[in-house]
Amino acid sequence: MHDQHHDRIRLPALRERITTATEAAALIQDGMTIGMSGFTKSGDAKEVPLAMAERARQSPFRITLMTGASLGNDVDKLLTEAGVLARRLPFQADPVLRAAINRGEVMYVDQHLSETVEMLRTRQLGPIDVAIIEAIAITETGAIIPSTSIGNSASFAILADKVIVEINLNQSLELEGLHDIFIPKHRPQREPMPLMTPHDRVGTTAIHIPPEKIAAIVITERNDSSSTILPPDADTDAIAAHLVNFFNEEVRLGRLTNSLLPLQAGIGTIANAVMTGFIDSPFEHLTMYSEVLQDSTFDLFDAGKLDFASGSSITLSADKGKQVFGELARYKERLVLRPQEVSNHPEIIRRLGIIAINTALEADIYGNVNSTHTLGTHVMNGIGGSGDFARNAYLAVFATKSLAKEGKISSIVPMVSHVDHNEHDVDILVTEVGLADLRGLAPRERATVIIDNCVAEPYRHMLREYVAEAAKRGGHTPHVLEKALSWHTRYRDTGTMLLPRVTLAATI
Ligand code: COA
């Protein structure tokens, strides 16, 4: 076995460290903090975590697990079911883990994705005992070449005492050269990140660590999980059309050029569908400075609309993945993958003037946005990078369908039941009904614009009544406090936010 994989493990001495996942997993002990590769189901470690789950079923142990973002291959599910996860950060999107978090069994720290390694580097978090990193290869000098994501992998490997590398033979060697790994200096020696355009390369193509830190190498042929985003529908088409009209107007007013500014698009079905909508737009030579590159990025390349995309991971549906990774050479010159602290860095987002398009679960009449908690208490996924981008963007756009759960939930409510993005960080709110431009508006003005443009009947009428009652109480941001969350409690108690005897079809 040690004589194989010369193209993948190019430092001969390291071939001695090839071992089984079970043996590698033995390095992980109760109470440790583990930093693992993986960002929105791509480039995640796949063998060692499964061996950890297997061992924990016989002999229980618990760890703190940090990753880039969410994982594929049911890793979070299996680790949760085996009771391995005591703490989890900075992001997850797994239904089984989500349920365990909401039962209070796993302590979940939902962080801005740019911040985790800053906190590790300054010892506000950590230390990292073991890093487990998926790679396509290890270079002649022992540097680790990541696969389909970088996420936090570089800093995990640099900061950890020991590193386990999973060499994935199914990840194309064509990925070599795609990465750009820049590690900021410790303060007070910190310098500006020298990144002036989305396509600037400012770092190295591999993670440089002393090779003696590589304690074990495990070979895998397991694929990344595919994304499960749904195709665009009438509502997402309408959201995209409203945004295209809005950007057209910004171009007409001379505020933007026809290539807009670098685009960031959030995760999930809605953000992907909105980006796909740019295919039928008049805009050209677009660029992306984003976090996750989804199917829409490659659809925009193929449509000749997009010149360049910078991200931290590539997460594709099964069909798109087959096509893109089958002909990666065709896209490679127009792509770069960066550590998430660089892809999401406030300094760069502000400098480049990013147009950030993220998804809300709900928004309120004043423009506060909840992206993470259903009905105020139960976490869905996490804030991810949406806060990194929204706070620092040139334009922060939040999109949502105006209705959820067959209309029993209005996504626009009097007061959000949890705040991720406050009114100061939200410029544009868009639903399939229309678009609210909140720039320069005071709270009372925002309420009118949001209700008139983004809300469908009968909720529009209900919100107008709420605002009228609130206005009588006065205030800069008027509320009827005892009713502010009554839509949520009504849904909890009756299964719908609609008032008794009011149906969705009713036009009042
Ligand atoms: N209340 C309760 N549930 C709601 C809701 C609301 N106001 N609005 C939507 N939902 C439910 C939907 O019904 C759906 O439920 P289901 O999975 O049971 O079908 C689920 O939330 C997802 O909604 P969907 O409309 O399919 O949206 P999406 O796939 O585009 O995901 C988020 C939306 C908000 C969950 C997702 O974008 C997210 O996790 N965002 C936070 C992180 C982020 O923005 N990262 C990007 C940084 S780069």
142-194 tens-digit pLDDT: 999 999 999 999 999 999 999 999 999 999 999 999 999 999 999 999 999 99
Q: Which residue has the tokens 């995640």?
A: 44
Spot the catalytic one: 291, 341, 362, 423: 291
Three-state secondary-structure class, residue 42: strand
Split at pLDDT 50, 70, 90, the class of 501 is confident
User: For residue 339, what is the enclosing H or E element?
Assistant: none
Mean pLDDT of 3-12: 90
At position 2, the amino acid (one-letter code) is H
Q: Is the CB of 267 under 6 A from ligand 1?
A: yes
Residue 398 has pLDDT above 50, yes or no: yes
Q: Nearest to residue 3, comparing CAs of 14, 205, 445, 93? A: 14
Of 345, 373, 379, 380, the residue with max ligand 1 atoms within 8 A of its CB, to mutate for a pocket test, comes to: 380
Residue 408 has pLDDT above 80, yes or no: yes
Residue 19 corresponds to which tokens in the numbers above?
């071992």
Residue 354 has pLDDT above 90, yes or no: yes
CA distance 9 to 316: 27
Residue range 449-490, pLDDT digits in tens:
999 999 999 999 999 999 999 999 999 999 999 999 999 999
Separation of first and last alpha carbons in the chain: 74
Split at pLDDT 50, 70, 90, the class of 3 is low
Instruction: Give yes or no for a contact between 435 and 415, defined as CB atoms under 8 angstroms apart.
Output: no
CA distance 194 to 191: 8
Whole-number mean pLDDT of the chain?
96
Residue 51 has pLDDT above 60, yes or no: yes
Split at pLDDT 50, 70, 90, the class of 508 is very low
Instruction: Decide if 291 is catalytic.
Output: yes
**For residue 231, what is the DSSP state?**
P
Split at pLDDT 50, 70, 90, the class of 507 is very low
User: For residue 77, what is the enclosing H or E element?
Assistant: helix 75-81
- What phi-psi label fits residue 354: left (phi over 0), alpha (psi between -120 and 50 degrees) or beta? beta
Three-state secondary-structure class, residue 214: strand
Residue nearest to atom 17 of ligand 1 (CA): 380
Residue 497 has pLDDT above 80, yes or no: yes
Residue 185 corresponds to which tokens in the numbers above?
């200096």
Task: Centre a 10 Å sphere on the Cβ of residue 270 and count the other Cβ atoms it contains.
Answer: 26
Using the mean position of ligand 1's atoms as its centre, give its distance from the Cα of residue 494 in Å. 22
| DSSP string of 410-469, one letter each residue | ESEESS-SS-SB-GGG--EEE-SS-EEE-TT--HHHHHHHHHHHH--TTHHHHHHHHHHH
Q: Is the CB of 380 under 6 A from ligand 1?
A: yes
Q: Is the CB of 270 under 6 A from ligand 1?
A: yes
Residue 505: the pLDDT is 62
Using the mean position of ligand 1's atoms as its centre, give its distance from the Cα of residue 495 in Å. 19
Sheet holding 428-430, edge to edge: 335-337, 306-311, 286-289, 263-265, 355-359, 395-399, 428-430, 435-437
Burial 41-75 (b: 16+ CB within 10 A, else e): bbbbbbbbbbbbbebbeeeebbbbbbbbbbbbbbb
Instruction: Give yes or no for a contact between 337 and 311, defined as CB atoms under 8 angstroms apart.
Output: yes
Q: Is the CB of 384 under 6 A from ligand 1?
A: yes
Three-state secondary-structure class, residue 419: coil
Mean pLDDT of 306-328: 96
Q: Is the CB of 409 under 6 A from ligand 1?
A: yes
In angstroms, the Cα distances linking 339 to 288, 333, 508 are 15, 18, 51
Residue range 99-144, pLDDT digits in tens:
999 999 999 999 999 999 999 999 999 999 999 999 999 999 999 9
Residue 2: the pLDDT is 54
Mean pLDDT of 320-339: 96
Q: Length of the chain in residues, anyone?
A: 508
Three-state secondary-structure class, residue 437: strand
Helix-helix angle 268-276:295-302, to 10 degrees: 10
Q: Nearest to residue 113, comparing CAs of 150, 68, 158, 159? A: 68
Q: Is the CB of 386 under 6 A from ligand 1?
A: yes
**For residue 112, what is the DSSP state?**
-
Half-sphere exposure of 29 (CA within 13 A, CB side): 3
Residue range 434-453, pLDDT digits in tens:
999 999 999 999 999 999 99
Helix-helix angle 459-473:443-454, to 10 degrees: 170
Task: Centre a 10 Å sphere on the Cβ of residue 17 and count the other Cβ atoms it contains.
Answer: 20
Q: Nearest to residue 367, comparing CAs of 286, 299, 427? A: 427
